[in-house]
Amino acid sequence: MKNRDKVALIVGAGDGIGMAIMRKFAQEGLIVCGARRNGKKLTPLIEELNTKRLIAHAFSCDARKEDAVIDLFSQIEKEIGIIEVVIFNVGANVPMKLLETDTRKFYKIWEMACYAGFLTGREAARYMIKRQRGTILFSGATASVRGSAGFAAFASAKHGLRALAHSMARELGPQNIHVAHVIIDGAVDTLWIRQNHPDYETLKIKQGIIEPADLAENYVTLYKQPKTTWTLELDIRPWSEKF
């Protein structure tokens, strides 16, 4: 396959969206590298992809730690291949009333959802600028554009990540690096949603819940866009979601 020497790095390769993105990019022929705090949790997916003769690797990385992110990029570039596309997908969706939000909790949520995005985006740019090509994609949420009650910390961090993505797009676009922000506005079919959403079964039947595999297709589409039609921001929701 023509993409065999190209790497798609997914930072925040969680059990739902992140792993679905890994599958889709592997199917496109790219080498996929998934990073999360406990990389061993990716073992079943890595084995699944490898049995299909798709190349996949797992890494343990706390994306809030600057040295860890720097080392992650360096190791992949030295030992695996050229990082062609980077997806930042670290979550921090923690509902928390304002008076229950102490400084430690607020800071941790910001570290996960915003600061880690900066570290990931900066390191991606460091390598891509040298080659004058690449794609950097950030996963956003409803909170990226609307601060709901009980989500002050999360919304502030996601607003910050969106601003980061927009600024990077304007700075790096002229250097042939496509930066885009994906607003995921709706419940995604994950284990947590299946166990906790009161209307899960109804939503599933009516296709009113986001399927991770369908969502992941959009990330591949952004990566494959021709330069004449780059998207800055993609807003995704189920057909029945109110907005």
Question: 88: pLDDT confidence band, cut at 50, 70 and 90?
Answer: very high
- Cα(128)–Cα(178) distance, rounded to whole angstroms? 10
Percentage of residues in the chain having pLDDT higher than 70: 98
- Model confidence pLDDT, tens digit, residues 167-199: 999 999 999 999 999 999 988 888 778 888 888
**Mean pLDDT, rounded, for 129-148:** 96
Question: Is the pLDDT assigned to residue 1 strictly greater than 50?
Answer: no
Q: Domains of the chain (ranges plus CATH)?
A: 6-236 (3.40.50.720)
pLDDT for the residue numbered 202: 86
Question: 130: pLDDT confidence band, cut at 50, 70 and 90?
Answer: very high
**What is the CB neighbour count within 10 angstroms for residue 191?**
9
Q: What is the mean pLDDT of the chain?
A: 94
Orientation angle between helical segments 116-131 and 66-79, nearest 10 degrees: 30
- Model confidence pLDDT, tens digit, residues 37-67: 999 999 999 999 999 999 999 999 999 999 9
Cβ 18 vs Cβ 10: under 8 Å: yes
| Contact partners, residue 44, CB within 8 Å, separation at least 6 | none
- Cα(171)–Cα(186) distance, rounded to whole angstroms? 30
pLDDT for the residue numbered 4: 63
| Contact partners, residue 165, CB within 8 Å, separation at least 6 | 117, 121, 138, 140, 179, 180, 181, 233
**Mean pLDDT, rounded, for 60-80:** 98
Question: Is the pLDDT assigned to residue 201 strictly greater than 70?
Answer: yes
Question: 7: pLDDT confidence band, cut at 50, 70 and 90?
Answer: very high
